[in-house]
Amino acid sequence: MCGIMGYVGNKEAVPVIVEGLKKLEYRGYDSAGVAIYNNGSFEVIKRKGRLTVLEEALSKRAPSGHMGIGHTRWATHGEPSNENSHPHLGEKEKIAIVHNGIIENHRQLREKLERKGVSFTSETDSEVIAQLAEYYYRGNILETVIKVVNTLEGSFALGVMCLDEPRLIAVRKDNPLIIGEARDGMYLASDVPAILKHTSQVYYLEDKEIAVLDRSGVEFFNMDGEPVSKSPETVAWSADSAEKGGYQHFMLKEIMEQPKVLRMTIDSALCDGGKNKAVIDSIDIRSYNKIIITGCGSAYHAGVVAKYVFESLCGLSAEVELASELRYRNPLIDGQTLVIFISQSGETADTIAAVREAKRRGAATLSIVNVVGSTIAKETDYVLYTLAGPEIAVATTKAFSAQLVLLYILAARFAQDLGALTGGGGTLAEVSALPDMVESLLADTGKIQQFAATCVGYKSIFFIGRNVDYAISLEGSLKLKEISYIHSEAYAGGELKHGPISLIEPDTLVVAISCCQRLAPKIASNVEQVISRGAKALVIGCCTDYEEGVGDKLSAIKFARINELFSPSLSVIILQLFSYYVAANKGLDIDKPRNLAKSVTVE
């Protein structure tokens, strides 16, 4: 939520910052702005709307200067408007800030400053930071920032500039911030893709650390102003991986990258020398009597699939719960519980809170994350990395698929250790076959494209399945609604008759997943029931007798037979393509769906 970009160095700051903000736009796109330091003053240009609106303004009059901060906003306090856009200046225009996060005591601070005569120009919680900094400033910006952040309650990643001391100050608490080091200057960003074009040398700012950047380097301090020593890490992602590479949308590019991503992730978990393998080998599952899996959105859906897989392969109780629920419950978690946290970004606020709650209760914590150096990766006992590379489209695809394969491998390894799986090699071989199977599905997208073209007019689409097919229906439904804005719901097939069937009428579509042989007749009955009530149906899967093709009432897309436990990795490819092509036919902004941001760092 909200992207921060900053630069100080030899180059003109505006193009560097705008280029970086483009890579961060997935974090919010309600408004954008820059503040550039030049010859003792700040020039601030900010605009409501997408980054292109700001770019247009900058094309008419781009401020010149070699140091600046920029921001792309996901509105929380105050509607999207020019005034509420960042950067914010203090009243005397001496201090400029950009903020990602939420200041919970902003009202009290604002009232206090207003009583002292300070007048505000926006409705945001963030402006209070700039006003407070100016109010406290006595000639030392580092001391001022320390004083300000000790007054703030809530979460923040901040970029700060002060006219009297031309340096960039960065500070983080519960929101990500990285520093990039290059010959031509120093970079500050919310996420790695923003700086990949310039450097692979990155410092990950820890919670409550401050960085002071000038064109020759960076120094780090703690909240007491004491120096902290840090070394840069080399980022493995290439600059190309954050580009569209000829595809119309990042989402399609990321869907197509899945065979490669799955191969790399599986190799790392199975091959000797693989980092994920070393972590899996170090976990003694016999120390635990229960597994709890948690995450938000799609990550939670990967957990729902995993529940079936863990219980089926390991014979071990596995619960799955939304992180936003788990964190506020009184969960039965203790030292004998292994809690698995799934998160692409590693920065989702609810999942971080759940990590902290589980640790407080003495559980062992294992995370599956995509972003190295992220908060969840840092705070959990064991970390498995999905090797998906940067995922830019807001709707997750390749990271989700990589989460699934790591969960399968984890379950198979646990099952071997528990003696529940003999001949585990065969099971792992089935997982290893997935990348090729995904590749052949992606080689022919004609039928799903043809079918999706007929779906633009639907008001409501239902997804049904049983067992793992139900788990993956949840993901299919979320994917569709978030990028196509068509209302959709997922139901366990057996639940249809308990209520949802009353919504079935001629202008509804039911997508049924059928990959579990023993449940295929049940799903077929569900399909017949909805068709006889006027709905149209699409059946996806490897266990169905329906003939493949796009028909008037009934269509079917089939793929090769596979162990049902791992079939979600194939069904999801069809579901992702379906959502993508429906949204593409509607001409929507697929990579940046309305109201959404990729990294949900606020509650």
Contact characters 337-366, ligand F6R, x per CB under 6 A: ------xxx--x--x---------------
Kindly tell me the number of DSSP H helices and DSSP E strands found in the chain: 19, 25
Of the candidate residues 35, 283, 299, 520, the single one contacting ligand F6R (CB under 6 A): 299
Cβ-contact 184, 164 below 8 angstroms: no
Region of residue 51 (left: phi > 0; alpha: psi -120 to 50; beta: else): alpha
- Sign of the four-CA dihedral 82, 88, 90, 92: negative
Touching ligand F6R, residues 450-509 (CB under 6 A): 478, 482
Q: Which is nearer to ligand F6R, 352 or 565 (CB)?
A: 352
Of the candidate residues 396, 401, 416, 576, the single one contacting ligand F6R (CB under 6 A): 396
Shortest CB 373 distance to ligand F6R, Å? 14
Shortest CB 397 distance to ligand F6R, Å? 8
Q: Is 2 a catalytic residue?
A: yes
- Sign of the four-CA dihedral 407, 409, 410, 411: positive
Strand order in the sheet with 364-369: 318-322, 290-295, 337-343, 364-369, 382-385
| DSSP H stretches of helix in 237-374 | 250-256, 258-270, 275-282, 297-314, 323-326, 349-360
* Tokens coding 46: 């900010």
Shortest CB 102 distance to ligand F6R, Å? 17
Cβ-contact 269, 280 below 8 angstroms: yes
Q: Which is nearer to ligand F6R, 127 or 482 (CB)?
A: 482
Shortest CB 218 distance to ligand F6R, Å? 27
* Cβ-Cβ contacts under 8 Å for 12 (sequence gap 6 or more): 62, 64, 65, 66
Q: Which is nearer to ligand F6R, 35 or 323 (CB)?
A: 323
How far apart CA 52 and CA 26 sit, in angstroms, is 14
Total residues at interface with ligand F6R (CB under 6 A): 16
Q: Which is nearer to ligand F6R, 199 or 374 (CB)?
A: 374
Of the candidate residues 122, 126, 298, 380, the single one contacting ligand F6R (CB under 6 A): 298
Shortest CB 540 distance to ligand F6R, Å? 18
Region near ligand F6R per CB under 6 A, out of 140-148, 149-157, 241-249, 293-301: 293-301
How far apart CA 406 and CA 411 sit, in angstroms, is 9
* Cβ-Cβ contacts under 8 Å for 423 (sequence gap 6 or more): none
Cβ-contact 445, 438 below 8 angstroms: no
Q: Which is nearer to ligand F6R, 262 or 355 (CB)?
A: 355
CB closest to ligand F6R, residue no: 297
Q: Which residues pair with 542 in a beta bridge?
A: none
Region near ligand F6R per CB under 6 A, out of 16-24, 170-178, 292-300, 306-314: 292-300
Secondary structure of residue 319 in the 3-state scheme: strand
Q: Which is nearer to ligand F6R, 16 or 474 (CB)?
A: 474
In 3D, which of 83, 87, 130 has the Cα closest to residue 106?
130
Strand order in the sheet with 165-173: 88-89, 95-103, 154-162, 165-173, 209-214, 217-222, 227-228
Q: Which amino acid is at 365?
A: T
Secondary structure of residue 374 in the 3-state scheme: coil
Q: Which of 94, 173, 536, 598 is catalytic?
A: 598
Q: Which is nearer to ligand F6R, 160 or 600 (CB)?
A: 600
Q: Which is nearer to ligand F6R, 75 or 142 (CB)?
A: 75
Shortest CB 343 distance to ligand F6R, Å? 3
Shortest CB 295 distance to ligand F6R, Å? 6
Of the candidate residues 181, 600, 601, 602, the single one contacting ligand F6R (CB under 6 A): 600
Touching ligand F6R, residues 300-339 (CB under 6 A): none
Touching ligand F6R, residues 48-87 (CB under 6 A): none
Shortest CB 482 distance to ligand F6R, Å? 6
In 3D, which of 175, 243, 187 has the Cα closest to residue 22?
243
Q: Which is nearer to ligand F6R, 277 or 301 (CB)?
A: 301
276 near ligand F6R, rule: CB under 6 A: no
| DSSP H stretches of helix in 422-504 | 424-432, 434-443, 446-452, 468-484
Q: Which is nearer to ligand F6R, 122 or 294 (CB)?
A: 294
Q: Is 598 a catalytic residue?
A: yes
How far apart CA 418 and CA 406 sit, in angstroms, is 18
Shortest CB 376 distance to ligand F6R, Å? 8
Of the candidate residues 296, 510, 538, 542, the single one contacting ligand F6R (CB under 6 A): 296
How far apart CA 307 and CA 215 sit, in angstroms, is 50
Shortest CB 326 distance to ligand F6R, Å? 13
Q: Which amino acid is at 37?
A: Y
Cβ-contact 536, 510 below 8 angstroms: yes
- Any idea what DSSP says for residue 549? B
Summarize as ranges the residues that interact with ligand F6R (CB under 6 A).
295-299, 343-345, 348, 351, 395-396, 478, 482, 599-600
The set of catalytic residues is: 2, 598
